[in-house]
Amino acid sequence: MKHLTLKDPSPRDLGFSMPPEWAGHAATWMSWPHDDELWFGNLGAVRAEYAQLAATIARYERVELLLSDDESERDARRRLPGDLDVVFHRLPLDDVWIRDNGPIFVRNTQGELALTNWKFNSWGGKFEWRNDDRVPEYVAGQLGMGHWDLPVVLEGGAVEVNGDGAALVTRSCLLTPSRNPQLSEDDYAALLGGYLGVDKLLWLDGGLENDHTDGHIDTITRFVGPRNIVTSVESDVADANHSVMKGNLRALREMRDGAGQPFEVTELPLPAARLEGEEGRLPPTYANFYIGNGFVVVPQYGDVNDQSALDILTPLFPGREVIGLPSRAIIGGGGSFHCMTQQQPEGSIWTGHTLDTALDTALETEK
């Protein structure tokens, strides 16, 4: 049995925690699609949808856009109007899923912003990842921001926080042996407590069928307020997702927040049509929305449930425009809007840690 020990002053020791997504943003970080092979020869259609997403976000807040090469920059500049608030960066990339390979920002009680840099191994070594694993260090350098580097695999899409000390995760993802086989549920509670400020870690069992992330929480269940949750449901009892989503719904209704109060849970249908891709069944979901300054962008698939999803989500976000955008081509790569974005919360830059913070000063495991 291994005992996890946090070393150095952790973010929590210094008053840092991860803000909820609906807190104010300074910017959204994104990575432009560039590899036609990864998109099974459908890169043009993916870029058309991605450009709509980036342009929509840039109407509300600054977009910091990573571009892997000259061709990507030419394409992005051609597709994005010049009057949009977009800052271009050049950085070698493997893929577009910056929610998972990018930094996770934390903010302290003085309003200062830092970031945590977790290891990324492409969901257990499924694809190439070495360039993408360098993204958080690049962002820290561009911002001049202090940060913590951790020798632990964690993707941003695997953790959903409510800004009030609670976080949702799935066992099917975090407990896979291809990520951190030495870590237990208690170890994750200590890690996410120390580095993201989580007081109460809430576990669901699993995610969508054939999701290459092994069931990220952001594809099925999301906080929309400190005590409000939306969760995916499948009405077709013959569908493999039905029993898993039903079990998650049951578990959520039994959960309590830090004050012992139940959460308010809203059911969100999955798309009705079964979508197939080059690697089998695809995991389309409306839960992979992205919340920004004054807006929420919700993926649409040309499905009969598209409008119902918008109708359910709209009253949950008073004061924000809920916008449906096409993601039928994008889902062919296995993810959607939340997977393609990473919010930089509002806050002044904290420089308390140097940029070469050693891994072994951040965390160790002891027998």
**Which residue in 339, 340, 362, 363 is the catalytic one?**
339
Structural domain boundaries in the chain: 3-356
Taking only the tens place, the pLDDT of each residue in 220-247 is 999 999 999 999 999 999 999 999 999 9
* 173 is annotated as an active-site residue: no
pLDDT computed for residue 352 by the predictor: 85
pLDDT computed for residue 5 by the predictor: 62
Taking only the tens place, the pLDDT of each residue in 11-47 is 999 999 999 999 999 999 999 999 999 999 999 999 9
Q: What percent of the chain has pLDDT over 90?
A: 89
| pTM for this prediction | 0.94
Taking only the tens place, the pLDDT of each residue in 160-212 is 999 999 999 999 999 999 999 999 999 999 999 999 999 999 999 999 999 99
Higher pLDDT, 352 or 111: 111
Question: Residue 367 pLDDT > 50, yes or no?
Answer: no
Q: Which CATH number fits domain 3-356: 3.30.830.10, 3.40.50.300, 3.40.640.10, 3.75.10.10?
A: 3.75.10.10
Instruction: Tell me what the pLDDT averaged over the chain comes to.
Output: 93
Taking only the tens place, the pLDDT of each residue in 248-262 is 999 999 999 988 999
With left for phi above 0 and alpha for psi between -120 and 50, is residue 269 left, alpha or beta? beta
pLDDT computed for residue 357 by the predictor: 38
